[in-house]
Structure 1
Amino acid sequence: MRVLPIRYSSDVTALTRFYEALGLRVGPVSRPGGWIEMPAEGGVLGVHRASAEDAGRCELAFAADEPLETVSARLRTAGFEPGPVTDEAFGHSLRVQDPDGVWVQINLYDRDLYT
Structure 2
Amino acid sequence: MRVLPIRYTDDVNALTRFYRALGLELGPVSRPGGWLELPGDGGVLAIHRSTAEDVGRCELAFEADEPLEDVAERLRAAGFEPEPPVDEAFGHSLRVQDPDGVWVQVNLYDRPLYT
Q: Which residue of 2 aligns with 1:37?
A: 37
Q: TM-score, normalised by structure 2?
A: 0.98
CA distance in 1, matches of 2:70, 2:78: 13
Aligned to 1:51: 51
RMSD: 0.6
Confirm or deny that 1:79 pairs with 2:74.
no
Match of 1:6 in 2: 6
AA partner of residue 85 (structure 1): P
1:83 partner amino acid = E
Q: Which amino acid aligns with 1:33?
A: G
Q: Which residue number corresponds to residue 94 of structure 2?
A: 94
Q: What is aligned with 2:69?
A: 69
- What stretches of structure 1 move > 3 A for 4+ residues in a row? none
- Count of equivalent residues: 115
TM-score computed with the length of structure 1 as normaliser: 0.98
CA displacement at 1:34 relative to structure 2: 0.2
Structure 2 CA distance for aligned equivalents of residues 12 and 80 of structure 1:
34
Match of 2:107 in 1: 107
Q: Distance in 2 between matches of 1:106 and 1:42?
A: 19
Q: Which runs of 5+ in 1 are unaligned?
A: none
